[in-house]
Structure 1
Amino acid sequence: MSSLASPVRTARPARVRPTPRPVTTPPAKIVLFANTDWYLYNFRQSLARHLREAGHPLILISPDGAYGPKLIEAGFDWRALPMNRRSINPLAEAGLIWHLTRLLRREKADIIHGFTIKPAVYGALAGGLAGVKRVNAVAGLGYVFMSGQMQARALRPIVRTMARLTFDDAHTRLIVQNPDDHAAFVGSGLVSAGRTHIIPGSGVDCSRFKVSPRKREKGEALRILLAARMLWDKGLAEFVEAARALKAEGRNIEFLLAGEPDPGNPTAVPIETLKSWFDEGVVTWLGHVDDMPGLLAEVDVVALPSYREGLPKTLIEAAACALPLVTTDVPGCREVVTDGVDGLLVPVREWRPLAEAFARLDDDPALRARLGAAARQKALAQFDEKIVIERTMEVYRSLLG
């Protein structure tokens, strides 16, 4: 009986699995949209530079203006929009939204980031139509919600309805600058809390805005500065009345205004009024100032008696320069100043407490120094632009997954 020999088994070679190639996602293409080119240049240029350096294709859009060419000179792709900030013509506004929609589709944008209420709402509408993710940054409630004028009251329900339709969406995030605005938007049902982020303003470059070595000489006037757009709701009337009262007392104080009226804002102070204050000798109106670090190095106190803010850049720039601050106890301003710690808070729309705060600082150099030093520490800890930019990038990442 023959036997069948067992076959010889040979080991199979180990199966080598190919190393998976990493999946690379191209950088997101981002559109920054504001209601003025001045805003992009002065408030969002640091964010734009960061995005560019990180490799993100970037487009900046706004109505035409003098700062668009400056953005182009800085190497940005800035484009003018056919947008009238004060227009309420339905056909013109629909045309603008359609223009934005086509731009976003043509450029294959990934995110549109709109600043202030009108670009936020219109950017969100166009972004939804184009299938683009949306970031809406609202710096305060703005003219429509703050003003008692008839036009503002008429627009309020329209803007509220449009905001409700566009802000609370899975592909949209809302950025506000202070807890009061967060509570207002969430509490009114315009957006859910999970899609809302609080980021304190646009930040300040604390290496550029720094402590001045200047010392006030004996007999030299105390210099108090209000730097802002020349709008009534920045508290200009109260500032001027306080200046009149203190000058009537014979105090050696110089009151300075820096900024221009905003022709697109219905609360702009007429140039004739500004000139009349200057001619009266109550204030010195400097107009537009490009070199804010240089101006802040030459003053002793910075004031902003505003009626409401998002988070005022002029205050955080002054804080970074270790200047004592005087501002109103309203949303946005009280996020920068803690009364008696790094500045003085006064009631809104009242000139007498404002004058008393100025007099107190005039009489007490040690108080000015203590408040200024504390303001600088807060600016470094909370308002440095690096912090603001990183938190903005986190919002982008949350949208892009």
Structure 2
Amino acid sequence: MKKKLLLVVNVDWFFLSHRLPIALEAQKQDYEVHVAIGLTDKLETLESYGFIIHPLDMQRGSTHVIGMVRSVLQIYRVMKAVKPDLVHLVTIKPVLLGGLAARLAKVPAVVAAISGMGFVFLDAGIKADLRRLIVGRFYAIALGHKNLKAIFQNKDDQTNVCRMSGLGSDSIELIRGSGVDLELYRVKELPGGAPIVVLAARLLKDKGVQEFVEAARLLSRSEYAPKHGVRCVLVGEPDPENPSSVTLETLELWREEGAVEIWGGRSDMVDVLASATVVVLPSYREGLPKVLIEAAACGRAIVTSDVPGCRDAIEPDVTGILVPARKVEPLAKAIQYLLDRPSLCAEMGAAGRRLAEQVFDVRSVVKEHMRIYHELAGKGAQ
């Protein structure tokens, strides 16, 4: 008889870009895969893979108590109906709310994938401290299942959550990122012509988008840009459910100003990265950003922030350069430093590809998840 796996995920695009290979491999290994997911317009796509979909009315940006209680009850009802052997909770809200529902529903085994700490841990002030205290208590409850593994993408997040929740070492796994398809993301020669500097991400303030735009302005006013024709490009879309999102009005102002090009959301990231000379992500904090491991696999030099998650995605001064978060001038200087040295870009790109092959291969990531699934499901059946 097939074991039942239930994944609980906020949004369809994150599941498809970050967890699809794991769900497909679970199918191959004779799991019946269910996906409880926030309201989606990709139902047919999800069902085409053979998954059983359970839509949830779960808004990522909402922190209203009534809404959260309603979400817990929805997830609980799905768990009671499916009767999964194993639940995999993906990202912060599903981990916190789904963790509580899993304990109420007495599911046999839980995987909690903590892929970042969220905007609550970026804010400062008394209100932010209070929110962090509340979230910390939620983690302690949500991760209190007796047969659970919490998967972290970097050691900083692991340390913080373990301190808040009291998780022991036997309940912890460290897997650096969601992996990259090394067959799809291949190295191509650096493009000729005007160098292109790419920031590809959801267009959020805490991704360092504003700092990137200001760095582009500095480059455009320097002697470097007119001489070399450097192009700074934003790839991605706003995320209205996130309080940190850039507005459409701001995007239009940037487009009119011309310091950056706005390419919008793109599904052809292989081609986008192939067109780049340097890939930039000046984020304030991450789990472990997928775009940086994709850039490494494509052999592109990286400039990113010296913060948890970002610094875990590179080898400093080998595959990329670290700069202080929220600082414009060091970011601009690092970009120009690399653009002035094409041979260094190529060397860092080659080193990045080696790092991707050693650490970020999606096949290894999937294999590690299957090991965890089998271990937990086995214990849950006892």
Contact 1:230 1:261 (8 Å CA) reproduced: yes
Contact 1:311 1:335 (8 Å CA) reproduced: yes
**2:273 maps to what in 1?**
296
Give the distance between the partners of 1:289 and 1:100, measured in 2 at CA: 32
Between 118-127 and 153-162, report the one with greater CA deviation: 153-162
Contact 2:35 2:54 (8 Å CA) reproduced: yes
Contact 2:234 2:261 (8 Å CA) reproduced: yes
Contact 1:211 1:321 (8 Å CA) reproduced: yes
Contact 2:54 2:78 (8 Å CA) reproduced: no
**2:174 maps to what in 1?**
198
**1:79 maps to what in 2?**
54
| Amino acid corresponding to residue 13 of structure 2 in structure 1 | W
**1:211 maps to what in 2?**
187
Contact 1:134 1:172 (8 Å CA) reproduced: yes
| Amino acid corresponding to residue 140 of structure 2 in structure 1 | R
Q: How many angstroms does 1:216 deviate by?
A: 3.1
Q: In the alignment, does 2:196 pair up with 1:223?
A: yes
**1:122 maps to what in 2?**
97
| Amino acid corresponding to residue 294 of structure 1 in structure 2 | D
**1:18 maps to what in 2?**
none
Give the distance between the partners of 2:251 and 2:176, measured in 1 at CA: 31
**1:23 maps to what in 2?**
none
Larger Rg: 1
Counterparts in 2 of 1:1-400, with a 5 A limit?
26-132=1-107, 133-148=109-124, 152-213=128-189, 215-217=190-192, 220-250=193-223, 251=225, 252-400=229-377
Q: Of Structure 1 and Structure 2, which has the larger fraction of its residues in helix?
A: 2
**1:15 maps to what in 2?**
none
Q: Please give the per-residue CA displacement for 1:260-318, whole angstroms capped at 9, x wherever unaligned.
A: 11111110011111111111001111111011112111111110011111000000001
Unaligned runs of 5+ in 1: 1-25
Contact 1:62 1:81 (8 Å CA) reproduced: yes
Instruction: Name which structure has the greater RCO, CA cutoff 8 Å, separation 6+.
Output: 2
Between 185-194 and 118-127, report the one with greater CA deviation: 185-194
Q: How many angstroms does 1:83 deviate by?
A: 1.4
C-alpha RMSD of matched pairs (Å)? 1.6
Contact 1:338 1:345 (8 Å CA) reproduced: no
Contact 2:239 2:245 (8 Å CA) reproduced: yes
| Amino acid corresponding to residue 147 of structure 2 in structure 1 | H
| Amino acid corresponding to residue 233 of structure 1 in structure 2 | D
Give the distance between the partners of 1:387 and 1:113, measured in 2 at CA: 18
Give the distance between the partners of 1:284 and 1:145, measured in 2 at CA: 30
Contact 2:285 2:310 (8 Å CA) reproduced: yes
Between 34-43 and 154-163, report the one with greater CA deviation: 154-163
Contact 2:185 2:297 (8 Å CA) reproduced: yes
Q: How many angstroms does 1:67 deviate by?
A: 3.1
Give the distance between the partners of 1:340 and 1:156, measured in 2 at CA: 34
Between 67-76 and 123-132, report the one with greater CA deviation: 67-76
| Amino acid corresponding to residue 244 of structure 1 in structure 2 | R
Q: How many angstroms does 1:69 deviate by?
A: 3.2
Q: How many residues are aligned here?
A: 373
Between 361-370 and 78-87, report the one with greater CA deviation: 78-87
Give the distance between the partners of 1:52 and 1:120, measured in 2 at CA: 22
Give the distance between the partners of 2:123 and 2:166, measured in 1 at CA: 20
Contact 2:36 2:75 (8 Å CA) reproduced: no
TM-score by length of 1: 0.89
| Amino acid corresponding to residue 228 of structure 1 in structure 2 | A
SS at match of 2:344: helix
SS at match of 1:203: coil
| Amino acid corresponding to residue 201 of structure 2 in structure 1 | A
SS at match of 1:188: helix
Give the distance between the partners of 1:330 and 1:222, measured in 2 at CA: 26
Q: How many angstroms does 1:189 deviate by?
A: 4.2
Give the distance between the partners of 1:79 and 1:275, measured in 2 at CA: 37
